[in-house]
Structure 1
């Protein structure tokens, strides 16, 4: 991990146009109280969008039951929301700069609240689908605004703490989803899965209105709007998300619909990326990838999101399938991670803010902990209950902040505010797309491995089944044996998924001494790196 000094990236035509659109305040001016309130409001808005996504997704079983919606139709409530949510993140930073961050964030938050209020009141299933798409569009506009605001307003001394705040949306928000699902579905009403965002949304809108400065509208930017990028990029991302999320249910490439979504989305994505490379004002500034730390950060981000999804989903699915746990019973496991993260994230930022600390070693240690956690989880047996996962999840309290904050530091250090919208579009869209892909990957691998283990167990227990069939109560014997085979297959599948996650963590760990270069905290006057 040698130190390197590199030159700043030369400004492109897109960066020069963005510079005229985003006027940055003095970086050394300090953080005033109103701006701090505005930043907190933006954090709450982003967190509310993440919670809305997590809670409605996890409460979908209760929502479908309350509205008498079948499983297949109900899957589209999540898929349509996710597709719109991911696709809009590519373009939200451009619209945020054009309509001003303050107006755009408040408008998106108000729209998310209104659509959330209307969802449980939808008279028909198509109306509910429409509301979910609209809420996905409005909610997806909020997280990208947070990085832009942080890069623009945070003084160098506390910039890492601001990035740690953003990391809450990737760690604390998803972990808090399960306790909220348990609270609303068990003690209040399934409708609160949609309505919970209203109080937090109102507070965030007031804080943003009070704190963030009011810029002037830049409607003239529509004269150079990247229509080709929008027309190719939005459907490309949406189609790929739909393909990944519906792939396991529709049997992947054996389904003509999934083939159209995946192949068509891939072709449109290639066209979008070619256009972005040549367009003077792109949504994705692909030339940022020439910065080694930026490229490494995005690559590691994709893998880290898969890891974060896996370490949350695997124990929850195991406990639900093997021991019939509902969200209420898994809440202590989720809270064990969520609450300490409020302390662990700023502590990690404080460590990284020390000039002599090399962020690459911190990142490597975090990835090693995640690999160790997944390796230990691969020894799961049918005797494991909630308490057996406590010690595994405790390591995540240390590992997750190290990984996420280091990724954010590597991506944003040395990045001027004029390039913030480009970085935000690429970072947030990749993060949410990776989460959708991770869901499809875990479901697909889990289904394949469960079928494999079930077949192997049936082959090995063939004689036992023959003996059971000769007993007096054959049907009961077959039923009991089939149940035991299913439970054991779930256990073995959970172990396989943990091994897969450990392998991903090790691959990311190998990249650390190879790709990124030494950087210093934002406050340091030392040269930054690409």
Structure 2
């Protein structure tokens, strides 16, 4: 028996005596992660001036401000299992607050990059800890609420984040891109100080730590993330740096899987995901990320690049048609999840997302921000239903006692899947813009009769001057470029539609949800029954 191998640590902990405060802390932690990531990416242009960054430097700042998340996030669940949530989360939250406070006061590029890397490393602690608190320290009756909070951040941050960038950039100042966390993060720490259970360090698990496996997975996925983030800008395999990062990342991932299969005490053995339902479920998550990219990228890009408006112009439509419906849809999805098979909610979500993308594919240059209202409304409701129900399905098909290992893979799919989707969409939009520019511009030559007529009309408008013809030709060139952008953004919605359709086919391949705490017909034990017995009764 002494030589027997295990397949990951058991994820049991002390039950929280004040679950509502824990739930509140989880809500705020998810809120911080989602908003920080979205606000930073959208507001990056507003940071170039204060930090004195070029376009390339700003691009690398975005990478450095996000990549360290994946280096640490996969291991956070294990750290929380060993040291307890209090020791992992509270110090991280307080240090994160301090760094967010001082970043706007720093003016040297080296210090800015270093502080952003440290801040991202701490930010990577929040969401994995959220998952672990849910399954380690809450009764099973609260699991569905914890998952709802975990998934709420995805659609909520997409719409509320852009609205906040508009408010900060035009009214409060760019510093609030960071200082919003100075207000929220200390509240998280306070709630955890009050409500998080005091747990002893698991010295046995610490002694047999799989440090090599954690380092291999974190390093490999970080390399892949950097390659995906910079790939579109550096033209993928035409860049030696991107090629090296991709090859090295894949090599380290293979080494990680081999390591987990050989060591006696693996940290996240692949057996936790080697089932049809879980494998297809992760594919659904990737399809979800790809199908949401059209809405999250095309709409802001159209408003800024075609209409020439600031992000604040989308505040009204995003708040009324995005933020409010997301909150309502989350409550509704939580209620339905207790009564219906998760696959039904997933289908509802992707159907709404496909319909939203289909409407968005009709995009023309005459659209205003409010023309996107039906697209945003359907997309927000669809994203809420699809992502929430998919996460519930994945966890319902896993053993809750092995949530430490499951969480490691969930974090990898979450971060890399979103980055992969963004890279695919940005590359697609770039190529489609080039295609439409060539298609629209090729017929226009110096001998084109239509061009001469149009230029003559514009010259008469601009007035007699030596620069009038040049101004008229510039106007024609801008019109062609604008129309090419509009068509490429419409194509972005088209590819989002097809990924939503692919997701529906994948859902059709999913099997029935096993009976357990997340099954619609599961009857929770009375409150006096220990969480331990409830968890032991749940099996994958």
TM-score (norm 1): 0.90
Q: How does 1:162-181 map to 2 (within 5 A)?
A: 162-181=146-165
Closer/same/farther in 2, CA of residues 280 and 325 from structure 1, 3 Å limit = farther
Shift of 1:411: 1.2
Shift of residue 190 of structure 1?
0.9
| Aligned twin of 1:68 | 52
Match of 1:492 in 2: 487
Deviations 1:295-327 (A, max 9, x none): 232221122122233312211111111101211
- Which among 322, 329, 338 is matched to residue 323 of structure 2? 338
Partners of 1:100 and 1:214 within 8 A in 2? yes
CA contact (8 A) 1:305 1:435 kept: yes
Matched, 1:399 2:392: no
Residue 231 of structure 1, aligned match among 212, 215, 227: 215
Distance in 2, matches of 1:404 and 1:66, equals 37
Matches within 5 A, 1:144-223: 144-223=128-207
Aligned runs of 1:294-333 on 2, under 5 Å? 294-333=278-317
Shift of 1:466: 6.1
Shift of 1:222: 3.6
Given that 1:314 and 1:498 are in contact with CA atoms closer than 8 Å, whether structure 2 keeps it comes out as yes
Match of 2:401 among 418, 422, 436: 418
Q: Find out whether 1:515 has 2:515 as its counterpart.
A: no
1:244-301 deviation line (CA, Å, top 9, x unaligned): 1111111211111111112221222222222233334434331112343322322211
2:117 match: 133
CA distance in 2, matches of 1:529, 1:505: 31
Shift in alpha-carbon separation, 1:290–1:529, aligned structure 2, 3 A: farther
- Structure-2 residue corresponding to 1:258: 242
Per the alignment, in what secondary structure is the counterpart of residue 34 of structure 2? helix
Shift of 1:95: 1.4
Q: 1:467 to 1:299 in 2, by over 3 A?
A: same
Seen in structure 2, the aligned counterparts of structure 1 residues 281 and 42 have a Cα distance that, compared at 3 Å, is farther
Separation (CA, whole Å) in 2 of partners of 1:94 and 1:243: 26
Structure 2 unaligned regions, length at least 5? 460-465, 524-536
Give the CA deviation at 1:72.
0.7
Relative contact order (alpha carbons < 8 A, sep ≥ 6): 1 or 2 greater? 1
Residue in 2 that maps onto 1:445: 428
* CA apart distance, 1:232: 2.3
Q: 1:524 aligns with which of 521, 524, 529?
A: 521
| Aligned-partner Cα distance in 2 for 1:451–1:149 | 48
Distance of 1:171 and 1:285 partners within structure 2: 31
Kept after mapping to 2: 8 A contact 1:359/1:519: no
Deviation for aligned residue 1:220:
4.7
CA contact (8 A) 2:100 2:178 kept: yes
User: Contact conserved, 2:225 with 2:419, CA < 8 A, in 1?
Assistant: yes
Match of 1:502 in 2: 497
Distance of 1:53 and 1:363 partners within structure 2: 25
Q: For 1:199 and 1:83, locate their aligned partners in 2 and report how far apart those are by CA, in whole Å.
A: 24
TM-score (norm 2): 0.89
Is the 1:414–1:528 contact (alpha carbons within 8 Å) kept by the matching residues of 2? no
Q: Distance in 1 between matches of 2:185 and 2:519?
A: 31
What secondary structure does 2:268 align onto?
A: coil
Seen in structure 2, the aligned counterparts of structure 1 residues 35 and 365 have a Cα distance that, compared at 3 Å, is closer
From 350, 353, 372, give the equivalent of 1:367: 350
Q: Give 1:403 shift.
A: 0.4
After TM superposition, give the deviation of residue 469 of structure 1 in Å.
7.1
**Aligned partners of 1:157, 1:39: CA distance in 2, in Å?**
12
Q: Report the 3-state secondary structure (helix = DSSP H, G, I; strand = E; otherwise coil) of the residue aligned with 1:407.
A: helix
Q: CA 1:469–1:351 in 2, change beyond 3 Å: closer, same or farther?
A: closer
Shift of 1:78: 0.7
Q: SS state of the match for residue 168, structure 1? A: helix
Deviation of 1:525 (Å):
4.0
> 8 Å contact 1:47–1:173 — kept in the other structure?
yes
Task: Tell me, in whole angstroms, the C-alpha distance in 2 between the residues paired with 1:334 and 1:314.
Answer: 14
Deviation at 1:444, TM superposition (A): 0.9
SS at 1:383's partner residue? coil
Segments of structure 1 that go 5 or more residues without pairing to the other structure are 1-10, 26-30
Native 8 Å contact 1:161 1:350 kept in 2: no
Q: Secondary structure at the match of 2:521?
A: coil
Asked if the contact 1:119–1:128 (Cα under 8 Å) also holds between the matched residues in 2, the reply is: yes
Equivalent residue pairs, number: 509
Between the aligned partners of 2:492 and 2:69, the Cα distance in structure 1 is: 27
Partners of 1:305 and 1:117 in 2: how far apart? 32
